[in-house]
Homo-oligomer: A and B are copies of this chain.
Amino acid sequence: MEQIMGYCSSMSETTRAGNLPLPPMTLSRWGADADARELGDGIRDLLREVLGVSAESGVAFDPAAVRASPSRLDDDDIAALVALVGAGNVSVDDEQRLPRARGKSTPDLLAWRLRPEVACPDAVVAPGDDDEVAALLAWCERESVALVPFGGGTSVVGGLNPEVGRNRAVLSVDLVRFDRLESIDTESGEAVFGAGVTGPRAEELLAGHGFSLGHFPQSFPYATLGGFAMTRSSGQSSAGYGRFDEMVRSLTVVTPIGVVDAGRAPASAAGPDLRQWLLGSEGAFGVCTRVGVRIHPIPEVVRHEAFRFPDFATGAAALRAVEQQGTGPTVIRLSDETETMVNLATATESIGEQSAGAQSGGCLALCLFEGTAEHAGARHAETRDVLLAHGGTSLGAEPARSWEHGRFGAPVLRDSLLDNGALVETLETATDWADIPALRDAVAAALSSSLEASGTPALVMCHISHVYPTGASLYFTVVAGQRGEDPIEQWMDAKRAASEAIVAAGGTITHHHAVGADHRPYLADEIGPVGVAMLRAVKAAVDPHGVCNPGTLIP
């Protein structure tokens, strides 16, 4: 396993086994080893004093203890796969199978420490075009082998779980070879990418044409456009550029019964929207190989401003006014009192996501405005007027700049906190504006009481980071102390309590993390028996043998 850790620590040509690169993230961490950072004394003292945890109290990851499940594929199987996609694009090596065995939820990360016997996909396969994917699907059906599409490996909902369903084995199908900008139409503002292109690579490819996609979820550094589409990702600039499902102009999914290209026109009345039935399908209908997205010129300017609100309800009403009036920020976020306080207290190492800057108490709101100088300036002025009229006080640009600077850092901090014995996780939902306060209170209470019952205080922080005319998302960050023999079960209890509170309060079980295995038990309640019948009917029609990601989505 020393070797594995070496492979995982950075992504370079030397990490390749055949043509297959290893996913860049460390097995037991969100980021790469190189990204890991030590907590400062302040936070470590706080963890010890408030939560009673430390580096010594947590369970450390022992690479030497890790055991991959043996591959259930035989030599004939591998020969057949090699015949389909080429020798360099098939691997049964443990170092290839292990990093594709689990996602990056806190239970996943703790499992590397606590469950070293790892159920792995039986092989990793990287097809190079739609025909190879189709051939692979046909082989899977014939041979009763399931497959799980793999992009960036950033699922936090069990979307990568290598379940076999009613099959004898399961493949991890890595989209890494779908790595091109296939076409760009700067007049229409569209680009078509291979599904395996990562967030940073897409921005890099577009930048050469003076364009940007503008999709910045926390998974941005690692996740792929295919993954964004298949999970209905939503990025931090959603107020300006939309959710990813709103950016998708077209997409290609290779199903066991054929290839489907959805999205002939920007908008259509030609029946139910096929695009919207493929978006969020999480590999259960097939493998997404290509995504057409709307793009926009790289903004000429970015303007920043932060505001303080006396309390969450006042701040939420202000964000609502901004969105319902349509004043046009690119990013708009509001931390509740706890998140604001914690970030202020931990200053340079904020546990929540937003740096507090020079202010005290209340709730911090952050805005960014992008576009031409004139456009961004006008949007900024109108937004500021609304926020000030609704009880906000300007804190200047700095807190918003500071947040922007550290915007992808929270998951890396989670690694450090887990190392120091803390239990840290996030979850999210959305509802109508009128129901936002009750939903926030219900979820926070459920998390607190479950964790307190396990013997730890719990810090429950919340923010609004995606706004719509009729409602908003709520994103919760929880920090508690790991307790008992099995902190995975400790968290699963808290997660179950939160999920039940979301369902009872009428929120969606997931606003942008997707369904996966973890939210599947709650989907039937959300879409009802007719919705379930519709999903199952489509699944049966396009994947009659049940080979496509059987561990996810379908109730």
Task: Name A residues whose Cβ lies closer than 8 Å to a Cβ of B.
Answer: 185, 187-190, 231-234, 243, 245, 249, 253, 255, 257-262, 264-274, 276-282, 294, 296, 320, 324-328, 371-372, 374-375, 378, 382, 385, 429-435, 466, 468-473, 506-515, 519, 523, 526-531, 533-538, 540-542, 553
Of the candidates B234, B266, B278, which one forms a contact with A432 in the assembled complex, judged by CB atoms under 8 Å apart? B266
| 17 interchain pairs, CB-CB under 8 A | A188-B470, A232-B269, A255-B530, A264-B508, A265-B432, A268-B526, A269-B280, A269-B508, A269-B511, A269-B513, A270-B526, A273-B273, A273-B276, A276-B277, A277-B534, A326-B371, A538-B538
Partner of A294, one of B375, B469, B537: B469
Known: A260-B528, A271-B535, A296-B324. 11 other contacts (CB 8 A): A190-B470, A260-B530, A269-B514, A271-B280, A272-B276, A272-B278, A273-B280, A294-B470, A296-B469, A375-B382, A533-B541
- Residues in chain B near residue A280, CB distance under 8 A: 269-273
B534 touches A542 (CB 8 A): yes
Given A325-B371, A523-B271; A262-B537 close (CB under 8 Å): no
In the complex, the answer to whether A257 meets B530 with C-beta atoms within 8 Å is yes
- In the assembly, what is the distance between CA of A415 and CA of B243, in Å? 44
Q: Report yes or no: A537 in contact with B531, Cβ–Cβ below 8 A.
A: no
What separation, in Å, do the CA atoms of A148 and B528 have in the docked complex? 25
In the complex the two chains form, what is the Cα distance from A128 to B310 in whole Å? 48
B270 touches A519 (CB 8 A): yes
In the complex, are the beta carbons of B531 and A541 less than 8 A apart?
Answer: no
Q: Helix, strand, loop or mixed for chain A's interface? A: mixed
User: Provided the pairs A268-B232, A268-B511 are in contact, do residues A542 and B535 lie with their beta carbons within 8 angstroms?
Assistant: no
Partner of A429, one of B265, B530, B533: B265
Complex Cα–Cα for A510 and B264 (A): 11
Given contacts A271-B553, A273-B280, contact A542 B533 (CB under 8 A): yes
A519 / chain B contacts, CB cutoff of 8 Å: 270
Q: Which of A188, A265, A327 has the most CB of B within 10 A?
A: A265
Nearest B residue to A522 by beta-carbon distance? Answer: B270
User: Do A510 and B261 touch (CB < 8 A)?
Assistant: no
How far is the CB of A127 from the nearest CB of chain B, in Å? 18
Contacts of A510 in B (CB 8 A): 268-270
* Best-surrounded residue of A233, A327, A515, A538 (most CB of chain B within 10 A): A538
Q: In the complex, which residues of chain B have a beta carbon less than 8 angstroms from the beta carbon of A374?
A: 382, 385
Q: Is the CB of B267 within 8 A of A430?
A: yes
Contact in complex: B535, A266 (CB < 8 Å): no
Q: How far is the CB of A514 from chain B (nearest CB, A)?
A: 5
Contact of A530 among B259, B279, B468 (CB under 8 A): B259
Q: Which residues on the B side are within 8 Å of A509 (C-beta)?
A: 270
